[in-house]
Structures are given as structure tokens and as C-alpha cells.
């Protein structure tokens, strides 16, 4: 009997992740940023309560899912700022779930993805799912650290074999960018003078990038 191997999952580039986050509106920019920063499973974000987040130290204390291990993950400063703004609009208790159900997040993301792909004429964006952000997180973390045990810990895996599925060893060196936004001609001019190139415009903000 021949066992067919499944095709490898699609790992988005840094540029693709940045474009989707920028074009998602405040709520889903926050949600996608958390996925990017932490590599959470969608079901974990659904289960997240206010108690999980330490905004002062930019940390998330993730409880286990799929029999995995609990872990502590770090959020980017910009993500924490978006989270503070989001929480200020709601009256969540410490044990309340603060994000939508997975089905709701998936449906909203598919709508965002389709709109952005059509607007920018980038059909490859349609290959990206919520779980792709977990693949991206794992692959980038391994690329930066070359520490497979660290990746295993941050993904919450019990077995190393599970981690290897996510660590695709893709060389992203030519696809890592520093991204900046410009709201005025003066800001755009400064970015161009500093070697940034124009990418697209979203929500009245022009996005520029430069290879790291």
C-alpha cells in the first residue's frame, strides 16, 4: 500500500502577512497581529480570557489546547497598543473570552483575504489561512534562532515530531522587510530618501518597505 504524502502547508512571506494585517480594520488587525506575534492556534485565541494578558510586560500566558503545553509568549509593542484600545471599548471580566469564535474569525478572514487579493491583484494571498500565521511564526522563529527546542516550547508541543511539521526551513532572508507607513508627502519623501520603496496604499496610509 502506497502512503501518499500531503503537500507542505503554505507559509506566507513577511510582506504578505504585513499586507493582510494592514488591510483588516482595527479588530482583525489586532487578531492577525496576535497570531503573527505568538503563533497561537485559532482555538487558543477563541479561549483567551483577559487573565491571559500582561499588558505591562507585553506577555501572553497561553493555556493548553490539543493536549499541548502551556507557555508564555511575547507580543510586539504595537500589538499591545492595539489590544489596549480594543479592551477600552469593552467591559470584559478577567475570565471572559475576549475574542470571537473560530468560525467567526475564519469567515471574517476569508472575506478580508478575498478583498485584499482582488484589490492588489495578488491571488497568492488566497492560499493563506488563519493557521498559516502559526506556520509563519514557527518558520521565522527557527530561521532566527536555529533552536528547534525553543520552537517546540513556543508552539506548545509535547513531541518534537509535531514541531518539525511547522519548521519548513524556508530561507526568508530575501523576503524580510522593514515596513513603514506615511500619512503625508513629507513622511513619504523622507522614507524614499532613506531607501524605502512604495508598496501600496490602505486606509489613506501609504506603505513603504526596505529589505532588512
Total H helices, total E strands in the chain:
9, 6
| φ, ψ (nearest 5 deg) of residue 73 | -130, 155
Residue 17 CA to residue 27 CA, distance in Å, equals 16
Q: Please report the pLDDT score of residue 99 as a whole number.
A: 97
Per CATH, the architecture of 14-130 is what? Orthogonal Bundle (1.10)
Query: Which residues are CB-neighbours of 192 under 8 A, at least 6 positions away?
Result: 198, 208
Q: pLDDT per residue over 79-124, tens digit each?
A: 999 999 999 999 999 999 999 999 999 999 999 999 999 999 999 9
Joined together, the cell numbers standing for residue 62 give 497561553
Q: pLDDT per residue over 181-196, tens digit each?
A: 787 888 888 888 888 8
Domain regions of the chain by residue span: 14-130, 176-212
Residue 206 CA to residue 5 CA, distance in Å, equals 42
Name the stretches of the chain with pLDDT < 70.
Answer: 1-8, 65-69, 166-179, 200-205, 212
Sheet containing 205-211: order of strands:
177-182, 205-211, 197-202
Amino acid at each position: 500500500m502506497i502512503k501518499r504524502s500531503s503537500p507542505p502547508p503554505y507559509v506566507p512571506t513577511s510582506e504578505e502577512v504585513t499586507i493582510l494585517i494592514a488591510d483588516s480594520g482595527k479588530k482583525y488587525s489586532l487578531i492577525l497581529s496576535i497570531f503573527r506575534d505568538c503563533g497561537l492556534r485559532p482555538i487558543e485565541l477563541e479561549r483567551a480570557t483577559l487573565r491571559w494578558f500582561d499588558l505591562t510586560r507585553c506577555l501572553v500566558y497561553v493555556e493548553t489546547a490539543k493536549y499541548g503545553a502551556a507557555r508564555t509568549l511575547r507580543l510586539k509593542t504595537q500589538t499591545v497598543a492595539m489590544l489596549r484600545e480594543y479592551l477600552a471599548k469593552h467591559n470584559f471580566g478577567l475570565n471572559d473570552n475576549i475574542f470571537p469564535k473560530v468560525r467567526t474569525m475564519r469567515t471574517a478572514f476569508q472575506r478580508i483575504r478575498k478583498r485584499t487579493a482582488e484589490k492588489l491583484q495578488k491571488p497568492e494571498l488566497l492560499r493563506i489561512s488563519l493557521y498559516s500565521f502559526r506556520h509563519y511564526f514557527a518558520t521565522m522563529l527557527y530561521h532566527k534562532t536555529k533552536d528547534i527546542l525553543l520552537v517546540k516550547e513556543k508552539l506548545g508541543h509535547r513531541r518534537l515530531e509535531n514541531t518539525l511539521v511547522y519548521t519548513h526551513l524556508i530561507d526568508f532572508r530575501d523576503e524580510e522587510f522593514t515596513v513603514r507607513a506615511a500619512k503625508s508627502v513629507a513622511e513619504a519623501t523622507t522614507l524614499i530618501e532613506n531607501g524605502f520603496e512604495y508598496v501600496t496604499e490602505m486606509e489613506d496610509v501609504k506603505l513603504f518597505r526596505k529589505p532588512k
